[in-house]
Amino acid sequence: MKLNLKIWRQKNKDSKGKVHDYELDGVEEDMSFLEMLDFLNNKLLNEGQEPVAFDHDCREGICGSCSLFINGVAHGPERGTTTCQLHMRKFKDGETVYVEPFRAKAFPVIKDLIVDRSSFDRIQQAGAYISVNTSGNTQDANTIPIPKHNADEAFNAATCIGCGACVASCKNSSAMLFTSAKVSQFSLLPQGQVERESRVLNMVNQMDLEGFGACTNTGACEAQCPKGISVKNIARMNREYLLASVKK
Amino acid sequence: MFNSSIGRKLIMALSGVFLIVFLTQHLVINLTSLIPDNGKVFNFISHFMGNNPVVQFILQPILILGVMIHFIMGMYLEVLNRRSRQTSYVVYSGKSGASWASRNMIISGLVILSFLIMHFYDFWVPEMVYKYVEFNPLDENRYFHELQEKFYKGGVVKLFLYCVSFVLLGLHLSHGFSSSLQSMGITRGPIKIATKFFAIIVPAGFIIIASFHYFITTINH
């Protein structure tokens, strides 16, 4: 398989990037997208050129490190899949493939295809935690009755891997799907009740400080989320936030 | 609360729902002009709405305020949201999972605003001049006749502009109504279907009314 790759190259955070063209022959359809980039980088290194920098870690679709915008879609054309789990059989021989970093003011490009997503870390630090008594009298979590529906909803929200595809896909670069998933996974469980109100207030405040846009409920985030996180979480976060603001 | 992104969305949602309520009562009143009674019911309601001090001096200013809040906050949010992505994508498939209406609320909103200016010029301004500038005597039988004459004089061009605006209103409502509920924390689902139905019925009602009066008066002339 031969591909015409158009890849965003940017030396560092402060430089101006642009799209570079690469012709890559010998791509196998069983390669993952990241393996294809490895293949390209081997070729570039053999030719004495600088390889393309891109983020990756587990390559199993669970770490959320890979953050590529492929042909105008976060994580590429296959729904419910991260870039590392996307395979080249989804592309045609001779196809032109645009590869760009996730773009948002709150996700500045560090180099080539790597963006700084520490804004997500700071949102989590603002409230995505619970207080646990460690004095020795701690109740075993498994002995606390939790309605099945709540447990399922909390688990679904907790499957968010924080990859940032929601921000990248949203026309407003809104981080509400991510933040709402992190709010929901705690607010639905008994262990999350102690900080329930301060959590949502602090996390939304931090989200706004980071420079993410506001949600206009287009649903693009849910459609392109590799874990299928539902926009119902955004409605839940709105509810939690408004109630917490009134009670404050 | 209102300095946050969620608070600003709440303002958009509440003003939007308020305008939806107004739109519904406007349609219901206008539908009475289709009753074959030579405008008797329509004249009665129009006279009441046009001369009741509560409607004129309390509800009308609140309505205008609601429109202004919805417009100003919409523009403000649009500017803030555009600032949140400083470098555009070379290729961006924005349509992925998001309807045209949801991605282009600013366009449909500006068309509706343009329509409102035209509609005010056609109906509201002459009414204000009639009552509060020229101080004409009360005439509770003039409204139906004036309505038909205005659609006749506006011609097919004005009818076309009205119909296009109502189609854009439908698109605006098709996303805006359910989006308002989501912003207020009400999970969509069955309600979403009802809002889509509303977004078809209401603009269609206005199109039928405008078309009916244009064609009836054109035939009669």
Domains of chain A: 3-111 (3.10.20.30), 118-247 (1.10.1060.10)
Integer Cα distance of A183 and A188 in angstroms: 9
Banded model confidence at residue B133, pLDDT cuts 50, 70, 90: confident
- Output the average pLDDT for chain B: 92
Residue spans of chain A under pLDDT 50: none
Chain A contact present for B88, CB below 8 A: yes
Mutate which: B75, B77, B82, B92, vs A, most A CBs within 10 A:
B92
Q: What is the DSSP string of B72-102?
A: HHHHHHHHHHHHT--S--SS--TTTT--HHH
Residues on chain A touching B90 (C-beta within 8 angstroms) = 6, 8, 19, 98, 100
Residue with tokens 């080249």: A88
pLDDT value, residue B94: 67
Span B13-19, average pLDDT = 97
CB pairs under 8 A between A and B: 139
pLDDT value, residue B131: 83
- pLDDT of A17-68, one tens digit each? 999 999 999 999 999 999 999 999 999 999 999 999 999 999 999 999 998 9
pLDDT value, residue B188: 61
- pLDDT of B88-118, one tens digit each? 999 998 677 789 999 999 999 999 999 999 9
The residue in chain A having the minimum alpha-carbon distance to the alpha carbon of residue B96 is A220
Chain A contact present for B2, CB below 8 A: no
The residue in chain A having the minimum alpha-carbon distance to the alpha carbon of residue B91 is A72
Domains of chain B: 5-76+101-220 (1.20.1300.10)
Pairs from B65-74 (Cβ < 8 Å, separation ≥ 24): B66/B15, B66/B18, B66/B19, B66/B22, B67/B19, B67/B116, B69/B11, B69/B15, B70/B12, B70/B15, B70/B16, B70/B19, B71/B109, B71/B113, B73/B8, B73/B11, B73/B12, B73/B15, B74/B12, B74/B105, B74/B106, B74/B109
The residue in chain A having the minimum alpha-carbon distance to the alpha carbon of residue B82 is A172
Is there a contact between A72 and B91 if contact means CB atoms under 8 Å apart? yes
Residues on chain A touching B4 (C-beta within 8 angstroms) = 204-205, 208, 241
Mutate which: A216, A224, A232, A240, vs B, most B CBs within 10 A:
A216
The residue in chain A having the minimum alpha-carbon distance to the alpha carbon of residue B87 is A103
Is there a contact between A100 and B89 if contact means CB atoms under 8 Å apart? yes
Residues on chain B touching A205 (C-beta within 8 angstroms) = 4
pLDDT value, residue A132: 83
Mutate which: A217, A225, A233, A247, vs B, most B CBs within 10 A:
A217
Is there a contact between B182 and A105 if contact means CB atoms under 8 Å apart? no
